[in-house]
C-alpha cells in the first residue's frame, strides 16, 4: 500500500511526488516551511491530501517558548502561511479552519496540551478522509455498469487523499467488483499527474490500463471506447460548478457531446458553501516553466509566453452526478447541495 | 527565412526538426535511406514537406550502373520504400505518384536524362507547394475577422511545407494584414510540434503568441478568448472528413460546442480523391515511447501500455470551411470537392 503521508515520531513523513515514477523518495520534517514548500511545488498534492498535510503542518508546532500569547500569534501566522500555498482547493482552507477552531477553543494555556489537541485534530482529519474515500468509492462503484471502460484525468487515488482516493478510489473499488474492463488515463499536462502518478498507482493494482495524451481522449470517445468519465474536484460551488485540474472542462464537453456520463467524485470537504458559482472560484495560475520544461528539460523556445491555469471550471450542466461521501448528488445541484448542507448543519 | 529542405549540389539538405528548438541542425544527404529514416522519425514532417522530401528522395538516384531495366526496378523499390514511411498523409503518395509517372514516361534509357527529369519534377513539386501556400494563405487570411484571436495546433508553417505554410501561412499572412491580435498555440503532445516548432516559427515573425497545453484550449474557448480555430490536414476524404494531427477532432468538437469557426487549410494535393469518407483513412499508430518519454526522459512507469494514434478523423460536419489553393470549400463538401475534382480534370 502506498502511504504518501504519515505522522511518525513527531514528524511528518511524506512521499515527494514530483520525483515519481522515477524515484520513491520520502522526506521527514517537523518544519512548517518544508511542508509549505512541499505543497507549493506539488511534492504533496491532491485536494484532500493538501488539507491533511496542512493540518499536520499546524500540528508540527515545535517551540520552547512557554508564552501562550506568542504561540497564538505564531500559529495564526502559520495558518496564514499554509493558506497562501494554493488558492483553489478548498479542502486546504477547511482543514486549516478546523485547526484554527482548536486554537480558539484552547483555554488551558498549556503548550503541551495544545500540541496534543492539534495533532489529534490532524489525525482525525486524516482518518475521516480514509473513511470518506471508502464511502465515495462504494457509492461511485455502484453507478458504473459492469465491465465498463472508464477514462480518468490527473491523480485522485492514494497519492491525492488520505485513503484509497476519490475518482480513482471508485475505479479501484469497481475493479474489485468486476465492473471495470479497462482504464484509460489522460497524462494530464503540464505536470503529468496521470502519466507519473495514476499510471504508477494503477500498475500496483494490476488493473488493465492504457495511458493516452490528453488530446487523444476525444478520438477514443468518438470511437465508442469510453463508457464513463470520472474525475475528482478541487472545489465545488453551491450550484454544482466544479473547479478541477485543467483539462476537466474539456472532458466534460466531450462527454456531453458524445452522450456518456461525466461523474465528479469528492468528499463533502470539497464543497465550498460560501461560493455560489464557479465564476467566484479563484483559479491558480502556475509558472509557465511547468509547460516549457519537462523535468527541467526545455521543450519550447526561450522566452515563449505561456498561459498555464492549474484548474478550469466545469459548469454544473455538464455533470451527470457528484459522488460525495454523504451520497450521490444529482441536478439541480442548487437543491441537492443545499439539502446536503442542511443535513450537515442539523447533524451538529 | 527558415529553409527546412533544400536541394544543394546534388544533395538534399534538411533541418532535423526533432532537435528543435534546442538546436538548428542540418543534415546533407544523397542517400535515400537517410531520407526514409528522417521521414519516419519526424526529422522531416508536415504533410506537404514529406511529399517534397520523398520526391527529392526518388531524385537522389545515384548509380553507376548503366542498366535501364535495373534502374527501373531499383526506383520502383525506392518509391515503395518511401511510401512505407508514413501511412496517413496523402501528399506523400501523390508526390511519389508523380515521380512514378516520370519513370514510366522515361523512354530514352539515358540514366542522366532520367536523373534530370526526376530532379526537375521534385523541384517543381517543391515550387508548386510554395505557390499553393501563398494562395491558401491569401484566401484564408480574408476569412479572418480583423484583430482576432486564433488558436492553432501542431505545426503547419514553413517547417511543414515548401512555402509559408497552410494554417500557419494563413495566420502569418493575416498578421501582415492586421487581422491577428493574438495567436494561441496548442503544444501538441506527444511530439510537441506546437511548443517546439510553431512557437519557434512564430517568434521569428514577432507575432504576439501564447503557448498552452492541449487541455487548456477548452477553458480558453469557454472564456471567449478564441475567435477562430485553424488547423492543417494530412488527408481529406471526398466527403470532407479530415485526418489531421491527434487533438484536431478535440478542437473541432470544442469549436462546434462554443460556436466559433473551425477552418482546415490544405493544398489540393491533400485531398484523396480515392477515399470516400474518413473511416477509410488509415491512421498511423506511433510507438508508445513517444508518449512515455520526452526527449528520452521517462515520464511514466516502466512498461506502461500506451495508445498513441498520430492522427484523428474530424467528420465534415464540424468543419466551417476547407481552405485550398484552388478556393475555399464549404459544406456540402461532397459537392464542393467533386466540383474541385472536375475542375482539376478539365484542366488536364
> In sequence order, what DSSP letters do the residues of B6-39 get, joined into one string?
EEETTEEEEE-GGGTTT---EEEE--HHHHHHHH
Asked if residue B264 has pLDDT above 60, the reply is yes
Question: For B311, what's the count of Cα atoms within 13 Å in the CB-facing half-sphere?
Answer: 25
User: Which residue among B250, B297, B307 sits closest to A250, beta carbon to beta carbon?
Assistant: B250
The predicted-structure confidence for A22-53, as pLDDT tens digits, reads as follows 999 999 999 999 999 999 999 999 999 999 99
DSSP-derived pairing of the beta strands A180-186 and A11-15 = unpaired
**In the structure grid, which three cell numbers stand for residue B229, read together?**
480555430
Looking up cell 495567436 gives: B183
Is residue A2's pLDDT more than 80?
A: yes
* Segment B220-233 mean pLDDT: 98
**Model pLDDT for residues B18-70, shown as the tens digit of each residue:** 999 999 999 999 999 999 999 999 999 999 999 999 999 999 987 678 889 99
* Range from A102-116, A210-224, B239-253 carrying the lowest mean pLDDT: A102-116
Q: What are phi and psi of A326, to 5 degrees?
A: -105, 15
Q: At A114, is the pLDDT very low, low, confident or very high (cuts 50, 70, 90)?
A: very high
Chain B residue at shortest CA distance from A219: B312
Q: What is the pLDDT of residue A81?
A: 97
Mutation target vs B (from A215, A262, A316; most B CBs, 10 A cutoff):
A215
Q: How far is the C-alpha of A141 from the C-alpha of B203, rounded, in Å? A: 49
Dmax (CA) of chain B: 66
Q: Which three cell numbers stand for residue A170?
A: 471508485
Give B285's strand partners.
B309
Enumerate the residues of chain A whose CB falls inside 8 A of the CB of residue B284: none
Residue of B207, B243, B281, B300 to mutate, interface with A, max A Cβ within 10 Å: B300
What's phi and psi for A187, nearest 5 deg? Answer: -65, -30
For residue A348, pLDDT beyond 80: no
Q: Which member of A203, A216, A306 has the closest CB to residue B246?
A: A216
Give which of A67, A129, A128, A79 is closest to A103, Cα–Cα: A79
- Nearest-Cα distance to chain A for B338, in Å, is 27
Q: Is B307 left (phi over 0), alpha (psi -120 to 50) or beta?
A: beta
Q: What is the pLDDT of residues A54-83, one digit of tens each?
A: 999 999 987 677 889 999 999 999 999 999
Tell me the pLDDT band of B346, cut-offs 50, 70 and 90. low
Is the CB of residue B260 less than 8 Å from the CB of residue B195?
no
Chain B contact probe: residue of A210, A219, A242 with most B CBs at under 10 A: A219
What's the pLDDT at B347?
A: 57
Q: Name every chain B residue with its beta carbon within 8 A of the beta carbon of A249.
A: 218-219, 222
Nine-digit cell string for B264: 482546415
Across the interface, do B212 and A294 touch by the CB < 8 Å criterion?
no
User: Parallel, antiparallel, or unpaired for β B209-212 and B180-186?
Assistant: parallel
pLDDT at A346: 66
- How far apart CA A281 and CA A262 sit, in angstroms, is 21
Q: Please tell me the predicted confidence (pLDDT) of residue B150.
A: 98
Whether residue A210 and residue B307 make contact (CB cut-off 8 A), yes or no, is yes
| Residue A162 CA to its chain's centroid (Å) | 10
Q: What gap in Å lies between CA B67 and CA A123, rounded to an integer?
A: 85
Residues A289-310, mean pLDDT to the nearest whole number: 95
Half-sphere exposure of B9 (CA within 13 A, CB side): 3
How many contacts does A have with B, using Cβ atoms within 8 A?
189
What is the average per-residue pLDDT within A230-259? 98
How are the residues of chain B apportioned to helix, strand and coil, as percentages rounded to the nearest 5?
Answer: 45, 20, 35
| For chain B, counts of helices (H) and of strands (E) | 12, 15
CA–CA separation, B114 and B280 (whole Å) = 35
List the helix and strand counts (H, then E) for chain A: 12, 15
Q: What share of chain A is helix, strand, coil (3-state, %, to 5)?
A: 45, 20, 35
% of chain A beyond a pLDDT of 70: 99
- The mean pLDDT value for B140-145 works out to 97
Our measurement of the distance from residue A342's CA atom to the centroid of its chain's CA atoms, rounded to an integer in Å, reads 24
pLDDT at B146 over 60: yes
> Average pLDDT over chain B, rounded to whole?
95
The pLDDT, as a whole number, for residue A62 is: 75
Task: Supply the pLDDT for residue A15.
Answer: 97
Which of chain A's residues have a Cβ under 8 Å away from the Cβ of B250? Answer: 215, 217-219, 250, 254
Q: Are strands A311-314 and A321-324 parallel, antiparallel or unpaired?
A: unpaired
Which of A253, A292, A308 is opposite residue B253, by nearest beta carbon?
A253
Query: How distant is the Cα of A286 from the closest Cα of chain B, in angstroms?
Result: 12
Q: Which helix (H) or strand (E) holds B62?
A: none
Secondary structure E strands in chain B: 5-8, 11-15, 26-29, 148-152, 180-186, 209-212, 228-231, 235-236, 242-245, 262-265, 293-294, 297-298, 311-314, 321-324, 327-329
* Distance set, CA B52 to CA B5, B85, B275 (Å): 9, 14, 22
Span A98-122, mean pLDDT?
95
Burial label, A283 (beta-carbon count in 10 A; 0-12, 13-18, 19+):
middle
Distance from CA of B193 to the nearest CA of A (A): 9
Q: Which residues of A touch B308 (CB under 8 A)?
A: 212-213, 216
Do the chains contact at A21 and B307, CB–CB below 8 Å? no
CB within 8 A of A47, min separation 6: which ones? A89, A90, A91, A92, A160, A232, A233, A234, A235, A266, A270
Give the whole-angstrom CA distance, residue A50 versus residue A39: 7
Q: Where are the alpha helices (DSSP H) in B162-238?
A: 167-176, 193, 199-205, 217-222
Paired residues of A263 in beta bridges: A230, A321
- CA nearest A218 in B: which residue? B250
pLDDT interval class at B296 (50, 70, 90): confident
| Closest CB to B195 among A218, A299, A303 | A299
Span B234-247, average pLDDT: 98
Q: What is the pLDDT of residues B300-323, one digit of tens each?
A: 999 999 999 999 999 999 999 999
Q: How far apart are the first and last CA of chain B?
A: 34
Share of chain B above pLDDT 90, in %: 94
Confidence of residue A295 (pLDDT cuts 50, 70, 90): confident
Which whole number is the average pLDDT over B57-84? 91
ipTM: 0.95
Determine the length of chain A: 348
Q: Is A74 exposed, middle or buried (0-12, 13-18, 19+ CB in 10 A)?
A: middle
The DSSP result for A89-146, as a single string, is: -HHHHHHHHHHHHHHHH--S--HHHHHHHHHHHHHHHHHHHHHHHHHHHHHHHHHSPT
Query: Hey, are the CB atoms on B216 and A307 less than 8 Å from each other?
Result: yes
Residues of B in contact with A189 (CB under 8 A): 187, 189, 213-215
**Which residues in chain A touch residue B215, judged by CB atoms under 8 angstroms apart?**
186, 188-189, 214-215, 246-247, 250
User: Residue B271 pLDDT more than 80?
Assistant: yes
Q: Which of A129, A214, A227, A234 is catalytic?
A: A234
Tell me the average pLDDT across B236-265: 98
- Which listed residue (B129, B234, B241, B272) is catalytic? B234
Cα B100 to Cα B7, B12, B89, B275, B322: the distances in Å are 20, 19, 18, 20, 29
Q: Is A225 exposed, middle or buried (0-12, 13-18, 19+ CB in 10 A)?
A: middle
pLDDT exceeds cutoff 90 at A296: no
CB contacts, 8 Å: B247 with chain A: 213, 215-216, 218
Q: Is the pLDDT of residue A139 over 60?
A: yes
Which of A184, A288, A297 faces B294 most closely, judged by CB atoms? A297
Instruction: Kindly list the distances between the CA atom of residue A317 and the CA atoms of A239, A240, A265, A313, in Å, as whole numbers in the listed order.
Output: 10, 8, 16, 12
Evaluate whether A98 touches A57 at the Cβ level (below 8 Å).
no
pLDDT at A72: 94
More reliable by pLDDT, A281 or A62: A281
Shortest CA distance from B309: residue in chain A: A216
Contact predicate A236/A316, CB 8 Å: no
SS3 category, A240: coil
Identify whether B234 is a catalytic site residue. Answer: yes
Mean per-residue pLDDT, A83-96 = 94
Chain B residues whose CB is inside 8 A of the A231 CB are none
The answer for residues whose C-beta is within 8 angstroms of residue B69's C-beta and 6 or more apart is none
DSSP letters for A157-226: STTTSSSS-SHHHHHHHHHHTT-EEEEEEE--TTTTHIIIIIHHHHHHHT--EEEE-GGGHHHHHHTT--
Rounded to 10°, the helix A68-83/A90-105 angle is 170
Q: For residues B280 and A312, what is the distance between their CA atoms, to the nearest angstrom?
A: 36
Amino acid at each position: 500500500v502506498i502511504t504518501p503521508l504519515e505522522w511518525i515520531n513527531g514528524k511528518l513523513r511524506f512521499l515527494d511526488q514530483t520525483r515519481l515514477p522515477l524515484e520513491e523518495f520520502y522526506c521527514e520534517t517537523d518544519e512548517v516551511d518544508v511542508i509549505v514548500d512541499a505543497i507549493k511545488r506539488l511534492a504533496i498534492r491532491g485536494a484532500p491530501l493538501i488539507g491533511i498535510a496542512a493540518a499536520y503542518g499546524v500540528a508540527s508546532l515545535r517551540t520552547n517558548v512557554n508564552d501562550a500569547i506568542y504561540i497564538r500569534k505564531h500559529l495564526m501566522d502559520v495558518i496564514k502561511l499554509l493558506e497562501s500555498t494554493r488558492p483553489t482547493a478548498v479542502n486546504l482552507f477547511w482543514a486549516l479552519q478546523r485547526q484554527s477552531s482548536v486554537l480558539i477553543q484552547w483555554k488551558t494555556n498549556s503548550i503541551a496540551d495544545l500540541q496534543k489537541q492539534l495533532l489529534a485534530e490532524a489525525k482525525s482529519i486524516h482518518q475521516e478522509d480514509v473513511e470518506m474515500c471508502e464511502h465515495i468509492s462504494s457509492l461511485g462503484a455502484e453507478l458504473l455498469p459492469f465491465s465498463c471502460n472508464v477514462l480518468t484525468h490527473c491523480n485522485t487515488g492514494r497519492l491525492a487523499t488520505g485513503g484509497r482516493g476519490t475518482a480513482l478510489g471508485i475505479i479501484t473499488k469497481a475493479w474489485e467488483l468486476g465492473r471495470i474492463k479497462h482504464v484509460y488515463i489522460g497524462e494530464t499536462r503540464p505536470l503529468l499527474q496521470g502519466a507519473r502518478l495514476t499510471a504508477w498507482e494503477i500498475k500496483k493494482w494490476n488493473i488493465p490500463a492504457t495511458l493516452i495524451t490528453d488530446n487523444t481522449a476525444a478520438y477514443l470517445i468518438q470511437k465508442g471506447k469510453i463508457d464513463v468519465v470520472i474525475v475528482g474536484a478541487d472545489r465545488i460551488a453551491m450550484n454544482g460548478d466544479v473547479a478541477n485540474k485543467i483539462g476537466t472542462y474539456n472532458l466534460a464537453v466531450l462527454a456531453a457531446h458524445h452522450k456518456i456520463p461525466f461523474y465528479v467524485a469528492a468528499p463533502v470537504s470539497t464543497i465550498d458553501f460560501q461560493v455560489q458559482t464557479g465564476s467566484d472560484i479563484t483559479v491558480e495560475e502556475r509558472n509557465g516553466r511547468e509547460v516549457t520544461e519537462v523535468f527541467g528539460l526545455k521543450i519550447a523556445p526561450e522566452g515563449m509566453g505561456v498561459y498555464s491555469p492549474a484548474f478550469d471550471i466545469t459548469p454544473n450542466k455538464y455533470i451527470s452526478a457528484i459522488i460525495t461521501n454523504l451520497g450521490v448528488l444529482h441536478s439541480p445541484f442548487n437543491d441537492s447541495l443545499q439539502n446536503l448542507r442542511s443535513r450537515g448543519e442539523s447533524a451538529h
